[in-house]
Structure 1
C-alpha cells in the first residue's frame, strides 16, 4: 500500500512540484497580459512617431523624407537614455541576457528589467527599428517568471524553470504559437527536456496563448495559399536551400557583431549611439520601406509571389544591414523577425531560380520563401526544433513539415560546424561567458591561483636515499614530496603511492634515491593562472594537487594547489555572488 494514500489533499497540494504548477499558471497569465500591454504600447509608439498604426507599407509613401530620418533618430536617443540610465539589460535582443541570468545568477533578474524592456523595445520598433517583438517578450516574460519565483522564495535549483515558463509564455503570446514557445524555452533557455521542466512550461505557454487569443483572436500569423510538394525530386532542393539559408544566417550573425564592435569603438558615451544608428536607418528606410520595423507586410507579399526576384535579393542584404545597425548601435528588439524576413526573401529568390530551371517539378517561389524562414531562424539560433514548429504554427500548414525539417537541420548542422556559437551564445562568449560551462567556469575564470594556493609544502634533494624518504613521509605527514635540483628547480614529485611500490622490495634502501622514484616533469601552474586553468589540468591529468611556480624568468616553487582548495574557493565565490545579487535585485 502506498505510504501517502491517507495523506490529506491539502497536504498533497502543498508539495513543491504541485506548487510550481500553480506558479507556472500565474507566470503564464502575467506574461500573457505583458504581451498584450507590449503590443498596445507598440502601436501607441508607432502612432506617436508617425500618426499611423497600420503596416508601414500601407502609408510609407505619405511619410515625408525628413520624418523617415528624424523619427528613428529620436527613437534611438530615447532608447539610449533608458538603457544607459535605467536598465542596461534592455539593450540588444534580450535572449542572451536571460541565458546569462540562468547560467550565472541562478535565474535572478532585476525587477525593473521588464518595464524597461517593454518601453525601450516599443520605442525602437515604433520609431522604425528593424527588429522583432519576440526577443523583448522573451526577456519580459523571463523577468516576470524570475520576479514571481523570487517573491514566492522558489529554491535556486528551480528558478530556471520559472524563468523558462516566462520565456515560453512570451514566445507563445507573441506568435500565437504555444508549442513553439514550449520548445523554445526547453531548447534554448532551460536546456533540459525533463518532465519536471516540461509540465510547468506547458501550462505557462497555454495560459499566455489563451490570453493572447482572447484579445487578438486565433489566426495564423501569415495568411498564405496551401503549398504542397509537386514532385519527389523537389525534396533534393531543400537541403540546398538549407545551405543557402545557413550562409545568410552566418552573414547576419557576423554582421551584427561587427557593427557592434564598430559602435563600441566610437569615443563617445553610450547613450547617443542608438540615435546615430537611427539616423543611418532613416536613410535606408527612405529607399527600402520594406525593412521598416518588423516587416510582416513585405513578407506576406513574398509568400504570395508578389515580390520580384531582383528586389528579393537586394532586400536580403538590406535587412541584414538594417537589423545589424539597429541592434549593433544599441537598439532594443529581437532577431526572430529579422531572421524570418531574411529567410523569406532568400527562399523566394531561391524558389524563382529552381522554378525557372525545373518548372514541372517544383512549387512556386512562395513555398520556398516559407520554408527558408525556418532555415534562417535555425541557422542563427541553432534551435531547429523551435524553428520547425514556429513556422508550422505561424502558418497552420502541415504540408511544409518535411521540407522544413530538411532545411532547418541542414542549416543548423552546417552553421554549428562552421561556427560553434549561435547568435545568442556568441554575445555571451564576447563577454567572456561560456554558457555551455555555465556559472562554475565563469566564477573560476575570475580567480587566480595565488589567491587560493597554500605555501605549506615539503621539498627534498634529488640525492635523498630511500630510507630518508620513508622517514620524511612519516614525520612530515605530506601527501607529496617535491624533488629539487641543486639550483632549487623543481624536477619531480613523489607521492606515497610511488614509495609504496618499492617498500616490499628488499635491499633497495641503499640503491634508490629520490630522483629514481620521482615523476619527472610534473604538471604545474603559475601564480597568475586562473583556477579554471588549474582545474582543467587537474581533471585532464587525473591528479589531486599541482605545484605552483612563480612567474619569474627562473621560476621557483612557491606553493601548492589542491582540488579541495579550488572547490572551497568556488563555494565561497558562489555565496558572495548570491549575496551581491540579493542586494542588487531589489533595486
Structure 2
C-alpha cells in the first residue's frame, strides 16, 4: 500500500501530531520495559548473571537447555490457546501489524496485543527461535491504532500511525532510529513521500531516545571497523544472488508457517513437542536457542567452526518456522539477520581461500545485508539497519549496499512476497474506491 501525500498543511492537523508524539514515547517505553523483562526471564531461566545470553546458555548444563525450551513450549501453547480462545471471544480476534496496515479501519485491540506481546517476550527469553522485536512493534502499533480511534482521526491517518508505531517499536528495542523509520516507509507503507516520512522519523527517533533512558544506548553487535577491499566487493557481487535465493526459500517457509495451525488442545501439545525438539538439538548446539543474536555475534567476530555454521544455517530458520507453524508468535527480523550472517560467514570461509584480504566477519555482514534485504524486499532499510545495529561505520558501505540491492533484484525475479507479506491476502480496496490519503 502506498500512502499518498497530505494535502493539508501539517500544522493544521494538530491532533494527528499529538498522537504521533505519544506513539513515539509509548514505543520507547514498551521497547525499554520489554527488554528489561526479557533479560530478567533469561537470567532466571538459564541461571546466569552479568553476561550475554549466548554465554549463559553455553555454560548451562545440557538438561537445562532441554528443560527450559520444553517449558517454554508448554507456556506458549497454553498462553496462546487462552489468548486465541477465551480472550478472543471476549476482546475480539487478534490482528497483526501488517493486517492492520492493509485493513481500512486499521484497528488493533490494545489489551489483547499487550498480553500477546508479554507472552512473546517470555517465550523468546526462554529460548524460542523468534525475534524479540515482534512484541514492542505490535504494542506500539496497537497504541497508535487506539489513540487514533480515541482522537477521531481518519482511517488513513490511523493506518499511518499503526505503521509508525511498528517502526518506532523496532527502533526502540534495537536502538535503530533511522532503520526503524525506513522499515515503516519501505516495508510497511511502500512510500518515501514527505508527509509519511516525517511522522515515521519522529516516532522512530522518539522511540529510540526514550528507550535509552531505560536500557542505555549501545550497539546491539560489537564489531570492529571493516575496510572496503576488492575481495569484499567481488564477494558481495557473487554472494548476493546466493543469499537472495536462500531468502526466497525462507520467505516460502514463512508462508507455509502461516498456514493452518493447531487449535484447542492440539496447540499446547504441538508447541511443547516442537520446542522440546529444539531443546534436544540445543543440548549439542546451544547457538540454536534464542532469537539469533548469539550466533550472529559469533560470526561477526570471525569465530565458529565451519561445520557448526553449516548446521546452524539450516537449523536456525527451520526452528523459527517450525515454532510459528506449531502456533507460537514472535518477530522474524533477528532470525532473518542471523541466517544471513551465518550464510555469509559460511561462504566467506571458502572465499578467503581464494582471495584473502578481508576477515570472515566482513563477509558475514555482507551476507546479512543481502539476506535481510531480499527477505524484506527493502534494500534501503536493510543497509541502514545493518549499519546501525553494528555501528561499523561506512567502511563496508559499498559492498553492503551492493549486496542488498543485488539480493533484492534476484529475489524479486522469483518471489514477489516478503516475510512481512507472506501468507497474507491481497489488501482490500478502500470502501470509497479512492486512493488512501492523510487528509
Contact 1:20 1:200 in 2 (8 A): no
Partner of 2:397: 401
Is 1:420–2:416 an aligned residue pair? yes
Partner of 2:437: none
Partner of 2:429: 440
Distance 1:67 1:304, change over 3 A: closer
Is 1:235–2:224 an aligned residue pair? no
Is 1:325–2:314 an aligned residue pair? no
C-alpha separation in 1, matches of 2:128 and 2:58: 18
Partner of 1:383: 378
Partner of 1:309: 306
Is 1:153–2:152 an aligned residue pair? yes
Deviation at 1:407, TM superposition (A): 0.8
Q: Deviations over 1:258-297 (max 9, x none)?
A: 4565x73799633432222211111121121012102323
Structure 2 unmatched ranges of 5 or more = 1-8, 89-93, 434-439
Partner of 1:521: none
Structure 1 unmatched ranges of 5 or more = 1-11, 442-569, 573-587
Distance 1:258 1:161, change over 3 A: closer
Contact 2:45 2:68 in 1 (8 A): yes
Instruction: Classify the secondary structure of the residue corresponding to 1:440.
Output: coil
Contact 2:65 2:280 in 1 (8 A): yes
C-alpha separation in 1, matches of 2:246 and 2:331: 17
The TM-score, its normalising length taken from structure 1, stands at 0.67
Is 1:50–2:46 an aligned residue pair? yes
Partner of 1:335: 332
Partner of 2:3: none
The TM-score, its normalising length taken from structure 2, stands at 0.88
C-alpha separation in 2, matches of 1:96 and 1:319: 26
The number of residue pairs the alignment matches comes to 417
Contact 1:132 1:337 in 2 (8 A): yes
C-alpha separation in 2, matches of 1:343 and 1:50: 27
Instruction: Classify the secondary structure of the residue corresponding to 2:388.
Output: helix
Q: Deviations over 1:334-381 (max 9, x none)?
A: 11111111111111121121111012xx41111010121111111211
Contact 1:96 1:425 in 2 (8 A): no
Higher Rg of the two aligned structures: 1
Partner of 1:225: 224
Partner of 2:247: 249
Q: Where does 1:64-79 land on structure 2 (aligned, <5 Å)? A: 64-79=61-76
Contact 2:47 2:56 in 1 (8 A): no
Q: Where does 1:6-17 land on structure 2 (aligned, <5 Å)? A: 15-16=12-13
Ranked by relative contact order (alpha carbons within 8 Å, sequence separation 6 or more), the top structure is 2
Higher strand share: 1
C-alpha separation in 1, matches of 2:262 and 2:72: 22
Deviates more, 1:394-403 or 1:50-59: 50-59
